[in-house]
């Protein structure tokens, strides 16, 4: 069971304003922005950027990489292998995709923490929905990476608890561009007891109370349930999706919020992380003084700095084009050739 | 050779190109030449960049991106995000030349244009037939053929089939834009060697059959990261203008005027040439206002693509009088293939073509020319794009290094100009 050795986060450059969506569709509302990955980014490329930031903060090389996402660039082929290659890891490093459901974000963190070797958990996602939907408006694109290994580290996981349940709240068939959801009040009613059960158990494992936790983050796939649970927890400070202002980046969101809490936490403070996705999962971490030393020494922008930066003038039609929802006329030029396998293999360093 | 990770290195922009023609999901494609701190050069795309957001001297770091997805396969690579002129190393090559050994005794050239109604075979038959008639030679008298085509024919069969050549050697040649002159060069050397008495050099291209805008370079299987293929041809040559501007202190709008003058002069020349594709004079204002294709190059700063064919009949100089009264004597033929390292060698500064310099020096030496501007009456140069011609003026010795632009503005390259 490892400690957290380093973390990194990546929020892409572009922002789509909710007013821009509403103006284009002449329907809907909301203010603020959602982060949008550029046409040349995907879950794999953003994972690399987040992992690079974590890698700049620690000399420990991972011996395994777990990539969690609901929007894998490939099926059948391991996307984490691309991440390892881009990071320059050699063939001793294992690579595995944790794909398909948002819960995988918490799963990858737990698995990396439990692993007996230095392991990198990378959470990366692009979330959207059909034009005009709440998921389009409230979704986001981002990635976060966490390196676990034998300490001393910047934070220690002191409790993990979860309560799972089989129920139909959010689902998507493979190949479909958008989730479907049941009425959110139904999901809320199932999530709340599970969320309380997991939190109570985690606090009991750690021997602390909710009031002892300095930083709490809560996120999940049912916005209503997250908001209600946030009101009922008794934590002093609760940070949820709206605090970052870039939308909910699905699998990556729990990582992004954890990274944000670590950007702001002091030494020897408690951080509680809860994910509501097909059940509730809570992790409790305690920071160490080494977190402050690493923050002071390391380059790279914080989550909030990345969230605040970027180009917020992206119009709606380029967003739709980049997402493949609007097919535009191509120029009168040949389509590019795909890379060939043997030269790619020879030239990969 | 060892591999050094460069992902975390910082770099400076040496020059850039804004390509409105190239294939990209989100036009325009912005490309930069980056020189890394500590050494190393990379020509790559610039991510998250609008067209006005890049300048020579900008600082850049590397980011990992998905370049394209083609036929269901992703191509991941790096993009950039937010010199001392290299002397052509004159390798001592045995290059004795064939001055006054061979002569061209017949020539032909079809109209250049968009020949929707004529095939490759039609053009070849036309050019070959007229060249043979011009030399008063029968096809059976030709001992060997060199066919130059970059993309309109494969193997010697592309010529032997339509011409029904009876069991003679036919070589198909390709050397990008030097294909035609290389076909001529090979034919001339074969005659000079004494191996053949009559040779035909013939070229053909039907670029308009592809349906694509601009030139398309055929590709070979690769790992998808070769920077040769993502930029369009105008964008590649537009890398010259920011570098030339920066090096010689020519403001961008003045350099645009220089480019406009070059195009204007060439359109005026075309108006006098019955075989030219474009035969109307075009005003400088219309040229300057033409829609941008890459960087500061508008449509009219770029040569058109065309269909056409041309052929030459070559014989030893001592036989030339049998065929025509006024043979064209070949004084020098040179070809220099570079190492293609301008895009990775920081000592290359994009204001010259070292291969042209080397080729011209060798050609002048073979021909015994010591003062090109005084001894040459005319130069027909490869002006694929206007900045190309500007650089060629200096590389061929018609203007002093760094002064080509002012020579153009002074009208020194026009039809009626005298160089010296």
A334: in domain:
no
DSSP string across B257-318: HHHHHHHHHHHHHHHT-TT-S--S---HHHHHTSPEEETTEEGGGBPPP-EEEEEEEEEEGG
A338 located within any domain:
no
CA of B385, closest CA in chain A: separation in Å? 19
Residue A96 in contact with residue A63, Cβ under 8 Å? no
What residues contact residue B378 under an 8 Å CB cut-off, 6+ apart? none
Interchain CB contact of B2 with A (< 8 Å):
no
Contact B222 A337 (CB under 8 A): yes
- Which residue in chain A is spatially nearest to B25 when comparing CA positions? A39
Residue B233: closest CA among chain A residues belongs to which residue? A333
Q: Is B358 on the interface with A (CB under 8 A)?
A: no
Residue of B nearest to A87 (CA): B7
Chain A residues whose CB is inside 8 A of the B47 CB are: 38, 40
User: What SS3 state is found at B21?
Assistant: coil
Q: Is residue A167 part of a domain?
A: yes
- Characterize B401-413 residue by residue with b for buried, 16 or more Cβ atoms within 10 angstroms of its Cβ, and e for exposed: eeebbebbeeebb
DSSP assignment of A99-129: ESSTTHHHHHHHHHHH-SS-EEEEEEEE---
> Smallest CA–CA separation between A333 and chain B, in Å?
5
For the domain made up of B93-212+229-332, give the CATH fold.
Answer: Peroxisomal Thiolase; Chain A, domain 1 (3.40.47)
d(CA A296, CA A162): 34
Q: How far is CA B204 from CA A317, A333, B307, B330, in A?
A: 44, 22, 8, 22
Return the pLDDT at B93.
Answer: 56
| Average pLDDT of adjacent 10-residue blocks, chain B of 420 residues | 86 93 89 92 91 86 93 92 42 71 97 93 98 97 97 96 96 95 97 96 93 82 78 92 96 95 94 93 95 93 93 97 94 92 89 94 93 90 92 94 94 63
In terms of residue numbers, what domain contains A154? 3-319
Using the beta-carbon criterion (under 8 Å), do A337 and B216 form an inter-chain contact? no
Residue with tokens 């293929």: B229
Choose from A57, A331, A335, A342 for mutation: most chain B CBs within 10 A. Answer: A331
Q: Shortest CB distance from B221 goes to which of A86, A340, A349?
A: A340
Residues B222, A343: C-beta atoms closer than 8 Å = yes
Chain B residues touching residue A74 (CB < 8 angstroms): 74
Compare all CA atoms of chain B with the CA of A12 and give the residue at the minimum distance: B48
Give B56's contacts (C-beta < 8 A, 6+ positions apart).
B13, B14, B15, B16, B242, B243, B246
Among A73, A335, A344, beta carbon nearest to B70: A335
Cβ distance A44 to B66 less than 8 Å, yes or no, reads yes
Nearest to A13 by CA among B43, B31, B46: B46
Question: Per the CB < 8 Å rule, is B64 touching A346?
Answer: no
Residue of A nearest to B69 (CA): A338
The DSSP bridge partners found for residue B12 are: B35, B59
Supply the DSSP symbol for A251: G
Is residue A333 one of the residues assigned to a domain?
no
Contacts 24+ apart (CB under 8 A), A329-335: A330/B23, A331/B21, A331/B22, A331/B23, A331/B27, A331/B213, A332/B211, A332/B212, A332/B213, A333/B21, A333/B22, A333/B23, A333/B212, A333/B213, A333/B214, A333/B216, A333/B232, A334/B23, A334/B212, A334/B216, A335/B23, A335/B70
- The chain A residue lying nearest B67, using CA atoms, is A40
Residues of A in contact with B25 (CB under 8 A): 39-40, 321-322
Cα gap A38→B162, rounded to integer Å: 51
Nearest CA in chain B to A324: B25
A74: tokens are 């490939």
* Among A44, A324, A337, A343, the residue to mutate for chain B (most B Cβ within 10 A): A337
Interface of A with B (CB under 8 A): 13-14, 38-42, 44-45, 48-49, 52, 56, 73-74, 82, 86, 88, 311, 318, 321-322, 330-340, 342-344, 346-349
| Shortest alpha-carbon distance between residue A45 and chain B (Å) | 5
Q: Which residue of A has its CA nearest to B62?
A: A49
- Test the B interface: residue of A43, A45, A145 with most B CBs within 10 Å: A45
Whether A322 and B25 lie within 8 Å, measured CB to CB? yes
Instruction: Tell whether B261 is within 8 A of chain A (Cβ).
Output: no
Q: What is the pTM of this model?
A: 0.83
Task: Give the torsion through C-alpha atoms of A317, A320, A323, A324, to 10 deg.
Answer: -100
Give A333's contacts (C-beta < 8 A, 6+ positions apart): B21, B22, B23, B212, B213, B214, B216, B232
* Angstroms from A61 CA to nearest CA on chain B: 15
In chain A, which stretches have pLDDT less than 70?
A: 299, 349
**Chain A residue at shortest CA distance from B230:** A336
Helices (H), B173-216: 179-192
pLDDT in tens, A114-173: 999 999 999 999 999 999 999 999 999 999 999 999 989 999 999 999 999 999 999 999
> B64 and A48: CB-CB below 8 Å?
yes
Contact A322 B232 (CB under 8 A): no
A45 vs B211: CB contact, 8 Å cut-off?
A: no
In chain B, where the domains are located: 11-80, 93-212+229-332
Residue range B234-264, pLDDT digits in tens = 999 999 999 999 999 999 999 999 999 999 9
CB-based contact A346 B25, cutoff 8 Å: no
State the pLDDT at residue A349: 55
What does the pLDDT read at residue B227? 67
Which helix or strand (DSSP H or E) is residue A169 part of? Answer: none
Whether residue B221 lies within 8 A of chain A, CB to CB, comes out as yes
Q: Could you tell me which chain B residue has the CA closest to the CA of A313?
A: B50
CB-CB contact of A106 with A281 (8 Å): yes
How many folded domains does chain A comprise?
1
Query: A336 to chain B: which residues are within 8 Å by CB?
Result: 23, 67-68, 70, 75, 224, 229-230
- Whether the CB of B232 is below 8 Å from some CB of chain A: the reply is yes
Structure tokens at A1: 């069971």
What's the CATH code of the domain at A68?
A: 3.40.47.10
Give chain B positions within 8 Å (CB) of A86. 7, 64, 76
């Amino acid at each position: 069971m490892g400690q957290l050795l380093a973390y990194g986060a990546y929020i892409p450059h572009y922002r789509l304003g909710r007013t821009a969506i509403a103006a284009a569709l002449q329907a809907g509302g909301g203010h603020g922005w959602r982060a949008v990955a550029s046409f040349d980014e995907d879950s794999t490329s953003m994972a690399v950027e987040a992992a690079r930031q974590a890698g700049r903060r620690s000399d420990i090389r991972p011996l395994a990489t777990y990539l969690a996402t609901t929007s894998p660039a490939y099926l059948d082929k391991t996307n984490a292998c691309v991440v390892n290659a881009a990071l320059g890891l050699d063939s001793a490093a294992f690579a595995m995709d944790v794909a398909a459901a948002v819960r995988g974000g918490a799963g990858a963190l737990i698995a990396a923490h439990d692993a007996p070797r230095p392991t990198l958990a990378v959470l990366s996602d692009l979330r959207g929905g059909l034009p005009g939907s709440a998921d389009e408006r409230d979704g986001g694109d981002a990635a976060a990476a966490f390196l676990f290994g034998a300490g001393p580290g910047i934070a220690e996981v002191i409790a993990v608890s979860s309560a799972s349940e089989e129920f139909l709240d959010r689902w998507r068939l493979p190949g479909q561009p958008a989730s479907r959801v049941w009425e959110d009040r139904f999901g809320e009613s199932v999530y709340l007891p599970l969320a309380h059960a997991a939190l109570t158990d985690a606090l009991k494992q750690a021997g602390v109370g909710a009031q002892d936790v300095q930083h709490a983050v809560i996120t999940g796939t049912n916005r209503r349930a997250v908001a209600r649970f946030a009101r009922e927890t008794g934590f002093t400070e609760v940070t949820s999706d709206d605090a970052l202002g870039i939308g909910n980046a699905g699998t990556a969101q729990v990582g992004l919020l954890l990274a944000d809490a670590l950007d702001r936490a002091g030494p020897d403070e408690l951080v509680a992380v809860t994910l509501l996705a097909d059940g509730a999962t809570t992790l409790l971490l305690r920071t160490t003084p080494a977190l402050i030393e690493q923050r002071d020494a390391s380059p790279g922008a914080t989550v909030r700095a990345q969230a605040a930066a970027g180009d917020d003038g992206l119009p709606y039609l380029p967003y739709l084009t980049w997402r493949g929802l609007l097919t535009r006329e191509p120029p009168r030029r040949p389509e590019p050739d795909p890379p060939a396998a043997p030269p790619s293999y020879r030239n990969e360093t | 050779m060892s591999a050094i990770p460069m992902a975390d290195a910082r770099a400076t922009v040496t020059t850039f190109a804004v390509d409105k023609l190239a294939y990209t999901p989100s036009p325009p494609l912005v490309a930069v030449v980056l020189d890394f701190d500590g050494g190393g050069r990379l020509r790559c795309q610039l991510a998250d960049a609008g067209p006005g957001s890049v300048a020579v001297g900008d600082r850049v770091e590397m980011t990992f991106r998905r370049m394209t997805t083609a036929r269901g396969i992703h191509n991941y690579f790096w993009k950039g995000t937010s010199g001392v002129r290299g002397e052509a190393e004159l390798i001592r090559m045995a290059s004795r030349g064939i001055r006054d050994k061979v002569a061209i005794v017949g020539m032909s050239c079809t109209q250049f244009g968009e020949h929707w109604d004529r095939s490759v075979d039609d053009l070849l038959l036309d050019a070959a037939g007229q060249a043979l008639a011009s030399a008063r030679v029968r096809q059976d008298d030709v001992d060997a053929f060199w066919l130059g085509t970059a993309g309109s024919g494969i193997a010697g069969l592309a010529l032997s089939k339509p011409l029904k050549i009876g069991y003679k050697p036919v070589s198909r040649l390709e050397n990008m834009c030097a294909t035609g002159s290389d076909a001529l060069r090979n034919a001339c050397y074969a005659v000079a060697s004494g191996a053949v008495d009559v040779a035909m050099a013939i070229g053909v291209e039907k670029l308009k059959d592809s349906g694509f805008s601009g030139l398309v370079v055929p590709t070979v299987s690769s790992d998808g990261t070769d920077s040769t293929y993502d930029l369009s041809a105008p964008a590649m040559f537009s890398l010259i203008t920011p570098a030339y501007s920066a090096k010689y202190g020519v403001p961008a709008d003045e350099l645009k005027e220089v480019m406009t003058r070059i195009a204007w002069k060439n359109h005026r020349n075309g108006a006098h040439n019955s075989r030219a594709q474009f035969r109307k004079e075009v005003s400088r204002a219309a040229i300057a206002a033409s829609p941008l294709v890459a960087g500061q190059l508008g449509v009219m700063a770029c040569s058109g693509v065309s269909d056409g064919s041309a052929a030459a009949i070559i014989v030893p100089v001592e036989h030339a009088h049998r065929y025509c009264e006024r043979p064209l004597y070949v004084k020098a033929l040179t070809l220099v293939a570079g190492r293609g390292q301008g895009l990775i060698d920081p000592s290359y500064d994009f204001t010259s073509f070292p291969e042209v310099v080397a080729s011209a020096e060798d050609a002048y030496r073979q021909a015994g020319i010591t003062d090109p501007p005084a001894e040459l009456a005319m130069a027909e140069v490869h002006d694929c794009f206007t900045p190309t011609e500007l650089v060629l003026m200096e590389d061929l010795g018609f203007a002093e290094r760094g002064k080509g632009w002012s020579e153009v503005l002074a009208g020194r390259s026009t039809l009626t100009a005298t160089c010296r």
